[in-house]
Structure 1
């Protein structure tokens, strides 16, 4: 990071306590600031906690050591399977999920599998009594099972391809997944305007369940009380993890935009960007002397931890979050939840944040923001369909 150490030997060998104090903050030597302004900017943005130093486990979010995190960090990365989350869904009984898991890994204790483990006994299929019992015969080649596949495929209108008198394994799996999906939709889903689905329901002798009409909720923007600033915040993340950024808008009691900002984060998780924008908004309000702040967020995660003053945040944000909580106790601070339909203005600003190079601050509303301000100023409602 620094090439020439001769002229800056003393600052580089200093510890944090030599250049930082709780009262004055960072006190970096002028020579270092002039030579390395970018490094100085990064150092001054580091929030130093007043709590005693503690060890953190970097492999976990909260910094604590658990058996799971220790095992995950030391074990080899297992191969990803696309069907893992599908068979371990909450609405599928665990016994069925375990059966499919054993089937895909070839662990079902058929006669052939037990023979490979050292057990010696004759093997015969319990259905046809004409072949040995192995996985392929039990699920695909047995005449009795093939009859079940034919009935199932005719009910769902899916013709299995035959290859030399044997069912192709991929087609069987496709039919199996379609049957499981249809079974789940029959139990808790609704019918759609499709002739194919109506025919399937008729073959299975199931009465249709038409969808309910959506409930329309009118959402209106409200200005803050007199003497109070209203801060709307939002974040944008293209993946988790992925490129992310945040935006915040401060409005007066008359509905005018006082200030707004956007900050890019680079690659991070979505919930980290939600947490960071709240920290930045509260920090900006304190630095500008705004002691009455009404923060509105469409993230229930942020609203819950700010309302409860919880310290359960990722360890990377622990120092900044502790400072944020300390500022809240000295402010007239309120946090409430907001629907996304009522946060369209800040959302339009946040959608641009991942693509910008550096943090940007506007003392007035940008041009692309004026249409949203006009809608809020005229009390034009938005509608939420639930």
Structure 2
């Protein structure tokens, strides 16, 4: 897929050569290899690449009006799906319906967009830049082989036990055992019998029942004795004897004890299986004391790998003392201060915030504009659709700058409580869906600087964003001056505190 992506986005001589050789004058891809050993593979992946590609529209000169999916997930040719139309004679570029950076849609094409349910005027045009193909599954639009694999591979539902194995505190060898146990890929006698072998079964440790996974791990008297001992170490009572109940009870513990308990479950079950094999194949006698010692050793290995912290309580301290592992005391919260600073003379300070009721969820933005004396010039609230918190934060910055430019406030200081969003704009690495809107909003600004502050010194924009989340999508409300519902705003150079 990487070669197909490079083929569709020529940036070097190889890509240009391949396009000249394998794209016909009718803009169709050649169906013959022409002596190339890689063209068949490249051509086979082109449709997948195009399906997951989108466009940041610039001048429109590089986008095929009919064959590229620039306005929806399908191209106009695929939407119409009419073989009677002479597609080989249609070579229009998107630039043919863009005039001075605005859409100039012919009447018949406008009817087509209405029939397809495409709001063409909601698509932003960045007229000063060239068109750019983007990889839609990636938030920033960057193609990668890893991202392509994630996009096209078949995905199954995430199993409930995945998080208990993909844990840094669980050694890979122990995680492999856990995977086998969850998938029941253990050659006990009952599994061997399902292969058609007539096998008399008796569990070699207790010598009272046939050998099954359930009996071996959970129901055997020896297993019960071991699990009860370990449960007492963690001060647990009345556990159902199955893997789900044992792992889920860890959710009530601190993150550190949760890591140790998961390691105890995987380590204990693997030691029971190891003791069974030693008795069956090595003729070694079972020793309860040795198994307990090995079990504690595996828990100590998990403690060495864990980077989590405990609750600073006497109960957990006692548990860790019994297990003989290091104490990972959580850090005491520190009280830190922050300030809201005034902008310079001639500069407007825009405090922005985005909110989403869920991640993703119904979103909204809030912006407050203040001058060098701290006076509130106006506020902006707007409702968004289904967005993530990060997208909402970025939308707040873009709309804040857009409204500032419309009022002639061309020197702005943007302050947000999202460090991630601020860094994205500083490094010009914002989501591809917002690139054109940001370029249009910031084009007329003389100077923009960004800074991040804590929410404790950005509470007025936070209140506005929550109010914006209550508005319908696309509905905005701008108030000149300070609105009545904004009872409290930041005081310049007053100290605000937070626990870190």
Match in the other structure for 1:4: none
Q: Secondary structure at the match of 1:276?
A: helix
Is this contact kept in 2: 1:235–1:245, CA < 8 A?
Answer: yes
Could you tell me how far apart the structure 2 residues matched to 1:68 and 1:120 are? 47
2:256 touches 2:309 (CA, 8 Å); kept in 1?
Answer: no
| Partner of residue 166 from structure 2, selected from 72, 88, 110 | 88
Following superposition, the deviation at residue 97 of structure 1 comes to 3.3
Residue 359 (structure 1) aligned with residue 476 (structure 2): yes
2:228 to 136, 147, 150: 150
Contact 1:279–1:320 at 8 Å: present in 2 too? yes
More deviation in 286-295 or 176-185?
A: 176-185
- Structure 1: tracts of 5 or more residues without a match: 1-13, 30-41
In structure 2, the residue matched to 1:235 is 354
Q: Which moved more, 1:315-324 or 1:175-184?
A: 175-184
Mapping for residues 1-386 of structure 1, pairs under 5 Å: 17=95, 20-22=98-100, 25=102, 44-50=121-127, 51-63=129-141, 77-108=155-186, 110=188, 112-113=190-191, 127-128=205-206, 133-160=211-238, 167=241, 170-174=244-248, 182=257, 184=259, 188-193=308-313, 196-205=315-324, 211-310=330-429, 313-324=430-441, 326=443, 331-357=446-472, 358-372=475-489, 375-377=490-492, 379-386=493-500
Distance across 1 between alignment mates of 2:245 and 2:398: 52
Rounded to whole Å, the distance in 2 between the matches of 1:177 and 1:371 is 39
* Contact persistence 1:153–1:175 (CA under 8 A): no
Partner Cα distance (2:327, 2:416) in 1: 40
SS for the counterpart of 1:218 is strand
Per-residue CA deviation, residues 306-338 of structure 1 (Å, 9 max, x unaligned), is 22223xx433223224445655xx522211111
Does structure 2 conserve the Cα–Cα contact (< 8 Å) formed by 1:224 and 1:230? yes
SS across alignment from 2:486: helix
Equivalent-residue separation in structure 2 for 1:298 and 1:319 (angstroms): 24
Relative contact order (alpha carbons < 8 A, sep ≥ 6): 1 or 2 greater? 1
Distance in 1 between the 2:250 and 2:448 partners? Answer: 55
CA deviations 1:256-285 (Å, max 9, x no partner) are 111210111111222211221122122222
The answer to whether the 8 Å contact 1:160/1:171 transfers is no
Per the normalisation by structure 1, the TM-score is 0.75
CA distance in 1 between counterparts of 2:242 and 2:357 reads 38
Q: Summarize the Cα distance change of 1:70–1:221 in structure 2 as closer, same or farther, 3 Å threshold.
A: closer
- Deviation per CA, 1:87-142: give whole Å up to 9, x if none: 32344333333432332222345565466568999877565566665422332133
Distance 1:209 1:62 in 2: 38
Q: Distance in 2 between matches of 1:62 and 1:118?
A: 55
Q: What is the rounded CA distance, in whole Å, between the counterparts of 1:305 and 1:112 in structure 2?
A: 57
Query: Is the partner of 1:301 in helix, strand or coil?
Result: helix
Deviation at 1:16, TM superposition (A): 6.4
Query: How many residues are aligned here?
Result: 351
Question: 1:185-215, CA deviations, whole angstroms, 9 ceiling, x for partnerless residues?
Answer: 775423434x543543453356766654422
Q: What secondary structure sits across from 1:264 in the alignment?
A: strand
3-state SS in 2 of match to 1:259: strand
Aligned-CA RMSD value: 3.8
Is the Cα contact below 8 Å between 2:376 and 2:482 reproduced in 1? yes
Secondary structure of the residue aligned to 1:351 is: helix
Are 2:250 and 2:257, in contact at CA under 8 Å, matched by a contact in 1? no
CA distance in 2, matches of 1:242, 1:136: 42
Structure 2: segments with no counterpart, 5+ residues: 1-91, 107-118, 261-302
**Offset of 1:65 from its aligned partner?**
5.5
- TM-score normalized by the length of structure 2: 0.60
CA shift for structure 1 position 383 = 0.2
Q: Is the 8 A contact 2:365 2:468 kept in 1?
A: yes
On the 8 A contact 2:365/2:392 being kept in 1, the answer is: yes
